[in-house]
Amino acid sequence: MIFKFGKKPEQPAEREYRDEEEYELVKFKGATNGNDPNLHRAQRLVDAGLEPAKELVTDALLRRSELIRIDPKGAQSQVTLFIDGMPYSGGRLGKQESMAIVQMLKLLAGLDIKIRNQRQKSGLRAALEDDSYELELTVAPTDAGERLIIRVKDLSLELNTVEDLGGNVDHKQKLRDLLSDNGFLAIVGPPNSGVTTAAHAVMRGLDPYLNQMFSLGDIGDKELDNITPFEPEPGEELDESLRRLVRQEADIIFHSGIKDAETASTLLKWAKEVSIVTEYAAQNAAAGLVQLIEWSQKPELVAETVRGVIGIKLIRRLCPACKQVFKPNPSFLAKAGLPDDLGQLSRAAPRGEDIELCDECDGFGFRGRAAAFEVVEMNDAMKQLVQNKPSADEIQRLARKEGMLTLQKDALRLVAEGVTSLDELQRAFRSKK
């Protein structure tokens, strides 16, 4: 355990569906793949599944779920809602009702409802009250039936800058310093940890008046102001696209994400000529640097071209409406590694049967998440270490010795600023996510 203070945080209790109040149900606005269904030809399915599907999705959206999962388990299916990264029970569905909901959502998302033995993926636009959403559906066969996972994008959330994510001006300046010359900068984190959002925020923080910037690859529905999308020629390889961008005197190229060794090696090669920013999945910054070495099999090239690797970890924000402020004991501050002159800390409001639920967070005590950042910089000492193909632990030890920003140190900054609590750090750093 990294943070060894305070008590072990309570595990979230299971919650039942809302039934006290009437809510306007979600409106489905069409499939993102363009295959909008003819509902009249599937009237029996519509009669059985449309209303239950709307009720399930509405309930999840009202609870601020970022992921909905329906797992078939024999005669019933388990619904799990993920809220601010934490799993909560969404109740159980009968087998027939579950099947009707899954098939209905597949149909609305433009998927083939006749196919039940293959993985399918698409998206569904939705609106609830004044907010717009994009629901990314993945359906996969299991021995018990089809598992449905819905990833929710709340299009009304403004997470456009590093500051929006929980960073500060020092983080922004560090990123600008790392991109002040040609080289390679990566933003990494575990899957579904907000890495893409963080990468886009980094790009938005760069000065468009000093840099000519291009994006390369699919960046989805996100708009990157002052960054020109680059359209490769039909059949054009990545190497040739980068060559043409360098000829156009690009200063910074944002690549939408590395998934294989060939892409990594190509980007590293061209990072001698231009600044390249990209993202990929890795547990932390040190693991991200190790991954680059393994992909390229050229530690010398990594040492020469990489300027830094940024790691992020999402931590729940305390609900500003109900969080409690208290005066900490000085000895406790020293044990936690916080400044001894810190006058106050914050914690989540207590939960219990006799305590009125907060309207803002629905009694969870948290609302939204903030990112803690870490930076592995390629200074002289790190370059020497990289030549020997180090482990992630060796990289982390050197980074701490060199005074580089670590996730733990930055997470404590969020505690000092009242953004989150020490108990939340204990929970977050116990988790592998």
Res. 225: pLDDT tops 80: no
CATH of domain 169-430: 3.40.50.300
Q: Which residue has the higher pLDDT, 12 or 127?
A: 127
Q: Percentage of residues in the chain with pLDDT exceeding 90?
A: 62
CA distance 52 to 381: 59
Q: Are 385 and 398 in contact (CB under 8 A)?
A: yes
Res. 152: pLDDT tops 70: yes
18-53 pLDDT, tens per residue?
444 567 899 999 999 989 888 888 999 999 999 999
174-190 pLDDT, tens per residue?
888 888 889 999 999 98
CA distance 85 to 100: 27
What pLDDT does 300 receive? 96
297-339 pLDDT, tens per residue?
999 999 999 999 999 988 999 999 999 999 988 888 888 888 8
358 in helix, strand or coil?
coil
What pLDDT does 159 receive? 64
State which CATH number among 2.60.40.790, 3.40.190.10, 3.30.450.90, 3.40.1640.10 fits the domain covering 27-154.
3.30.450.90
Give the closest residue to 70 by CA, choosing from 87, 52, 54, 92.
92
What pLDDT does 13 receive? 41
What pLDDT does 332 receive? 81
Half-sphere exposure for 180 (CA within 13 Å, toward CB): 7
373-430 pLDDT, tens per residue?
999 999 999 999 999 999 999 999 999 999 998 998 999 999 999 999 999 988 888 7
Q: What does the buried/exposed string (b/e) look like for 130-152 if buried means 16 or more CB atoms within 10 Å of the residue's CB? A: eeebbbbbebeeeeebbbbbbbb
356-375 pLDDT, tens per residue?
888 888 888 999 888 899 99
283-296 pLDDT, tens per residue?
999 999 999 999 99
Single pTM value for the model: 0.78
Name residues whose C-beta falls within 8 Å of residue 325's C-beta, 6 or more positions apart in sequence.
344, 345, 346, 418
Listed by start position, the domains of the chain span 27-154, 169-430
Q: Which residue has the higher pLDDT, 316 or 221?
A: 316
DSSP string, 194-233: SHHHHHHHHHHTS-TTT--EEEES--TT---TTEEEP-PP
Res. 71: pLDDT tops 90: yes
What pLDDT does 226 receive? 77
DSSP string, 249-304: T-SEEEE----SHHHHHHHHHHTTTSEEEEEEE-SSHHHHHHHHHHHHS-HHHHHH
CA distance 211 to 141: 47
Q: What is the residue-averaged pLDDT of the chain?
A: 88
What pLDDT does 135 receive? 95
DSSP state at residue 191: T
What pLDDT does 9 receive? 43
What pLDDT does 11 receive? 44
Pairing mode, strands 227-229 and 213-216: parallel
* For residues 220-238, average pLDDT: 81
| Max Cα–Cα distance, the chain, nearest Å | 70
Per-residue confidence band for 7, with pLDDT thresholds at 50, 70 and 90: very low
What pLDDT does 21 receive? 55
